[in-house]
Amino acid sequence: MENKFYLGSHVGMNSKNKYLIGSAQEAIDNGANTLMFFTGAPQNTIRTATEKLNIEEFQTLLKDNNIDISKVICHGPYTINLANTVKPETFELGVRLLKEELIRLEAIGVHTVVLHPGAAVGAPREQALESVANGLNLVYKELPNTPVKVALETMSGKGTEVCISFEEMKYVLDRVERKDMVGVCFDTCHMHDAGYDVKNNFDKVVDEFDQTIGLDKLLAIHLNDSKNPINAHKDRHQNIGYGYIGFKALASVVHNPLFKEIPILLETPWLDEKTSPYKVEIEMLKENKFKDNFNLEIIED
């Protein structure tokens, strides 16, 4: 049966659950047909050797459950900040870590990594955007044959984050030498917080993206509600249907035929340390029907 859409969530990846085997199993248990994982803790540089990650079993488990590995996504570590021109060592670390991540992902067989473009930390924005492109150019120069693409994530604009508008994203993409290897990941919460009207006029937002950058550059979507009103420049994800974007708008992203080949991943908050929302949220979105399962406050606006 042909998929109407690829829908999944962020999943864990740790030794307790046999690394990638646990990641795939978590997605399967949630009723997902795609998934996104970190290859290690996002806040540090420590990574488990790829030979310990159970790659073959992971690939088999995906195949046996009709999950197309080409739709599986990795999220790059938060420690990478290619926009930092204030501290050269931070930029250099980012280039090294991204290069290592691409090498690991090639071994795993996952060919898309979502990356936060980073923050200017006091430098002019244009300089920071140039720096993101420079970092990507250095990585792909050193790995000319890698099959792994980078999807730069749309950001909310908290602090000095860059790539909060399509124009800023275009500025980077225009300066990337390997245009076939770098694209964009929408984050619905971030876009809403950056001032794009995801709730009432997402078609217009998508049209603006297509005119500015081109829909062929969209490689992934992070589907999140927001705890803040539009244009708040915060970054606080909320569970689907309980935030300022609302269920209807977010479900319509999933069911939009424009995105039927684009992996859509949830990064909504866990309800407590033990309770994941993803199985319930995936089911609601598939059925296109909101159910108040979590007893959180629903924003009426």
Total residue length of the chain: 301
111 is in an annotated binding site: no
Q: Is the pLDDT of residue 21 over 60?
A: yes
Q: How confident is the model at residue 2 (pLDDT cuts 50, 70, 90)?
A: low
Given a contact cutoff of 8 angstroms between Cβ atoms, the answer to whether 218 and 243 are in contact is no
Query: pLDDT by residue (tens digit) across 184-226?
Result: 999 999 999 999 999 999 999 999 999 999 999 999 999 999 9
Given a contact cutoff of 8 angstroms between Cβ atoms, the answer to whether 43 and 79 are in contact is yes
- Cα dist from 226 to 88, 108, 208, 220, whole Å: 34, 32, 21, 18
Mean pLDDT for all residues in the chain: 96
DSSP 272: B
153 is in an annotated binding site: yes
Given a contact cutoff of 8 angstroms between Cβ atoms, the answer to whether 168 and 128 are in contact is no
The pTM of the full predicted model, rounded to 2 decimals, is 0.97
Task: Check residue 273 and give its pLDDT.
Answer: 81
255 is in an annotated binding site: no
Query: pLDDT by residue (tens digit) across 246-272?
Result: 999 999 999 999 999 999 999 999 998
190 is in an annotated binding site: yes
CA gap 198, 204 in Å, rounded: 9
What domains lie within the chain, and their CATH numbers? Answer: 6-287 (3.20.20.150)
Q: In terms of Cα–Cα distance, which of 183, 160, 158 is closest to 170? A: 183
Locate tokens 């992070």: which residue?
A: 222
Given a contact cutoff of 8 angstroms between Cβ atoms, the answer to whether 154 and 164 are in contact is yes
Q: How many CB atoms lie within 10 A of CB 272?
A: 7
| Average pLDDT of the residues in 96-114 | 98
Locate tokens 């977010």: which residue?
A: 250
187 is in an annotated binding site: yes
233 is in an annotated binding site: no
Query: pLDDT by residue (tens digit) across 42-93?
Result: 888 889 999 999 999 999 999 999 999 999 999 999 999 999 999 999 999 9
